[in-house]
Structure 1
């Protein structure tokens, strides 16, 4: 007897969120006495997270096709992201949350251990000259290192979806929420949309408790353009080509995605308009 293959249940939305205001955001000297992973939220950061939870729930419930929607959370193991999720969770009833998974691969970029403020200022100035993506912090990571572990996380996340490890009911609308950090979220998006290193360098950081919503369009592709305006995407540092790609994903065919389009070909090939005979 042939076992019936389970139907894949792709999430309707993937929401990326940065943690609330932390003690390190208001005083860089905090890192000299407290390890990065133990930096707490401020009271303002907790309030930001509670408000973001209410807004997130309102968005999902308003935009969902029906009442049967659910949320699954992935969270960085850092204190500030865990606390952010606790406060965000106050905006959701228990029946709406399928589960939570702490995921080490979406942690903050490692900057080293205890950080001396003056030394870090010099190091970050050097990073600006070198380039944010490839510069590796002494005793820490580069954004390229973060890219590698985020890529591994994405593979695992899609295996979870393919094998229905979220245990979502076929009649439910699944929303995945990833509570992480600014740079890690930008790296996630660079990997997801196959942006170049140059395009990554354009991107601005998320604000505290800012969340960005990728929704599955009619094309079968995820896009920001359903929930976010062109002006918003411009403010994030996205170029016109990047924004046009988001627009195409709303109701275009799959061939308009970066998997198949010639968005970057002219950067590498000078003879694209030349035929074999002319060559």
Structure 2
């Protein structure tokens, strides 16, 4: 085995993963109450409502309770935990983070970073209410994932930048930029937007476009917890129930996959349900090689030529 392979195996074995990754949608904004607000104010400047501020403070208390109760029950952690925050640069997410932070003392905050790649889907600049209503009706007919707003983005565009963010996140984890103390249990909190959080989960768990289309948007300050399981993989089904996942729009196959990710076994064949959806026309019985060879693909020639 080469020295580079030895180094790669050493890095994999020494990787310290966050205990959980918590996605939080921002609190109620003025745009959630009145879509006409977008015609007066740029999307990134839309503020929280008083209720949104209250929701964010409550979300902070819930997040701290989730993290601290788990640490208090773990003898290995000795109550030594911290949270690292990523936040979208929009006003409503920044305000949400500030309110969430009120539940944490300074030593518990490992760091915070504004991350532009987890911002809201771009709907264009100032949004004329009636025009946006017509455009969103067209999106329903076209499909939410691939429909691109004029002068804006599609969900597929958001997927691409979220994928880039995840590459950076893994580098931060591997290089221990989030926490330098091996004794500290690290928790990531990502304060973002509804569609962005759905795209994040889609990318992470390798969900299909069709599965994305079935997902429901999280409510304001709704929390979705990806928790590290005994096999070293993250699952939504450790903190949440199957009923919750069903309400979010996950299919029975997707929920079964989350259940496998939460088990001690490391032999889970992730995405096997996708294979069935791609090849649902194949027979269940095994075919012999001779049967396969006797019926070559119509585009293949016996001499191997093209």
**Does the 8 Å CA contact 2:179/2:186 hold for their aligned counterparts?**
no
Superposition pairs for residues 164-243 of structure 1, below 5 Å?
Answer: 164-243=176-255
Task: Describe the superposition over 1:201-227 as per-residue Cα deviations: whole angstroms up to 9, x where unpaired.
Answer: 010001000011100001111001111
Q: Which of 21, 45, 48 does residue 41 from structure 1 map onto? A: 48
Q: CA separation in 1, counterparts of 2:277 and 2:103?
A: 46
2:282 alignment partner in structure 1: 271
Q: CA deviation at 1:257?
A: 4.6
TM-aligned CA deviation for residue 263 of structure 1: 1.4
**Residue of structure 1 in register with 2:138 after alignment:** 126
Q: Which runs of 4+ in 1 moved over 4 A?
A: none
Once the two structures are superposed, the pairs formed by residues 62-73 of structure 1 within 5 Å of their partners are 62-64=69-71, 65=74, 66-73=78-85
Deviations 1:247-266 (Å, cap 9, x if unpaired)? 111114333252xx421123
After TM superposition, list the pairs within 5 Å mapping 1:84-103 onto structure 2.
84-103=96-115
Larger radius of gyration: 2
CA distance in 2, matches of 1:223, 1:141: 29
CA 1:39/1:9 → structure 2, altered by over 3 Å: closer, same or farther?
Answer: same
Residue 108 of structure 1 deviates from its aligned partner by 0.1
Deviations 1:158-180 (A, max 9, x none): 10000001133101110000000
State the distance in 1 between where 2:249 and 2:229 align: 22
Aligned 8 A contact 1:18 1:181 in 2: yes
Q: 1:238 to 1:68 in 2, by over 3 A?
A: same
Question: How many pairs are equivalent?
Answer: 274
Equivalent-residue separation in structure 1 for 2:234 and 2:83 (angstroms)? 17
- TM-score calculated relative to the size of structure 1: 0.95
- 1:167 & 1:124 partners in 2: Cα distance? 42
Structure 1 residue 268, shift from structure 2 partner: 2.6
Distance in 2 (alpha carbons) for counterparts of 1:114 and 1:278: 62
